[in-house]
Amino acid sequence: MTRLSPEAVWCMSEREFANLLATHTFVSKSKIVRFYAPSFMYYKTSHYCTSQNSFPTISLTGKGCALKCKHCGGKVLETMYPATTPESLFDLCVELKRNGALGCLISGGCLPDGSVPLGKFVSAVARVKSQLGLTVFVHTGIINFETAERLEKSGVDAALIDIIGSDETIKEIYNLNITVEDYENSLEALHKTGMAVVPHVIVGLHCGKLKGELKALEMISNYEPSALVVIAFMPIHGTEMVNVKPPKPMDITKVIATARLMFPQTPLVLGCMRPKGGHRAETDVLALKAGVNAIAFPSEEVIKFAEDQGYRLFFSSFCCSQIYSDIRSLKDPNIQT
């Protein structure tokens, strides 16, 4: 078969792309898949159950966020542990470790410029790393080189950042007066530090439609990510977009397949944020066909499909961004298309 290009896949109709998935393999001969189920969401299947407090999320702003994005409205922050001072962050991490935590994801609401107020917490993060030995991922938002460099020196294991490829989406959904260039500058700043960087691409954030995802992937391709996570818009109760239809499973899969072609040696993950129920079951199976290395909170259907297809399965209670490190321990984990 002639080698596919990302552009060719992206331009396919849904019918053409469905036929491609049925005839073209995006997976490696080794057929290894990792499934992640961190403790910030309860998860139980016949194969695996969430370990309590193993990998929680922490908000540095509590429930506060200046942006009130249309898709979130601060609702996601309500599910996180609050830690709004450096002292409370360290004390919380001490308590979490005492209760069995292996690591944590530090996040929070945004300031009006799209950044997470990480600066004053860097010293506390350094203490968490040096004194507690927890694995620490930080969700940065817009970030400059000075803050990125301080995070790297603190010992943060990986920086996570959502990359938006549409100015309209940034303005209309994020309520943010910046451009895609600011996201690329943030990627560049993180990349320059040498720390592990795991960009996230959100499918269908623009009211459930594809808009800017390809641009986001193109920006990311300039900076050698340690791993790449694809997530998808899902309606959340109490938000302005609660009645918006999410992107189709096939649309999510097209982004994944395009990413697989653009990043043949990069660990690729279907992340935790995506619609549930039958939509998730369909998306998960399609994502595995499209070449993901890992899936967060996998459906029973994709676990069974993976078993039936002869995959080697690995389960973990870490955040799925841990794939950048975990994959090093596996034989021939990368995808060749």
Q: pLDDT of 138-173, one tens digit each?
A: 999 999 999 999 999 999 999 999 999 999 999 999
Q: Give the predicted TM-score (pTM) of the model.
A: 0.94
Angle at 45 between CA 40 and CA 47, to 5 degrees: 110
Average pLDDT over residues 80-90: 98
Average pLDDT over residues 98-102: 94
Query: Alpha-carbon torsion 139, 145, 147, 152, what sign?
Result: positive
Q: pLDDT of 310-322, one tens digit each?
A: 999 999 999 999 9
List, in sequence order, the alpha helices (H) in the chain.
6-10, 14-23, 86-98, 122-127, 145-154, 167-172, 180-193, 213-220, 249-262, 277-289, 300-308, 323-326
Q: pLDDT of 186-233, one tens digit each?
A: 999 999 999 999 999 999 999 999 999 999 999 999 999 999 999 999
Q: What pLDDT band is residue 333 in, cutting at 50, 70 and 90?
A: very low
Average pLDDT over residues 231-248: 96
Distance CA 26, CA 264 (A): 9
According to the model, what pLDDT value does residue 45 have?
Answer: 77
Average pLDDT over residues 120-135: 98
Amino acid present at 23: T
Share of the chain above pLDDT 70, in %: 96
> Which of 327, 258, 246, 329 lies closest to 287 in space, CA to CA?
258
CA distance to 80, 158, 162, 217, 221, per residue, from 263 (Å): 32, 19, 17, 9, 7
Inform me whether the pLDDT recorded for 14 exceeds 60.
yes
Query: Alpha-carbon torsion 158, 159, 164, 169, what sign?
Result: positive
Check if the beta carbon of residue 283 is closer than 8 Å to that of residue 257.
no
Q: What pLDDT band is residue 329 in, cutting at 50, 70 and 90?
A: low
